[in-house]
Amino acid sequence: MNETINNTDSGGTPCANAATPLRLQLGHISDLASNIGSMIDVIDMAICDIDDSRQRNAMATVCDVVMDKMDDLKKQINAVREELR
């Protein structure tokens, strides 16, 4: 018997505090994206030690693509944050 008897939810717009957990979650996701970006920077620096230029170029290209994707992710996170304001 898990029936809700005195439900006062009118189905309207949620209060501003309801978005707070989502804002915190977006903050954690953004921090994670920044951490991943920092790790890619480290990989990019280590690439300089690869002797084979083809391998070095391939790895550098992959790092650039991943960083571009991370930038896109951060932009999307910021867009969602703006929607929550």
**Bigger pLDDT: 75 vs 16:** 75
For CA atoms 29, 34, 35, 40, the dihedral sign is: positive
Let me know if residue 48 belongs to a domain: yes
pLDDT tens readout for residues 39-80: 999 999 999 999 999 999 999 999 999 999 999 999 999 999
Name the domain count of the chain: 1
Q: Which of 47, 24, 39 is nearest to 70 (CA)?
A: 39
Kindly report the CA angle at 76 between 70 and 78, in degrees rounded to 5?
Answer: 105
Evaluate whether residue 26 is within a structural domain: no
Structural domain includes residue 3: no
Q: For residue 51, is it within any domain?
A: yes
Residue 1 placed within a domain: no
Note if the pTM is more than 0.75. Answer: no
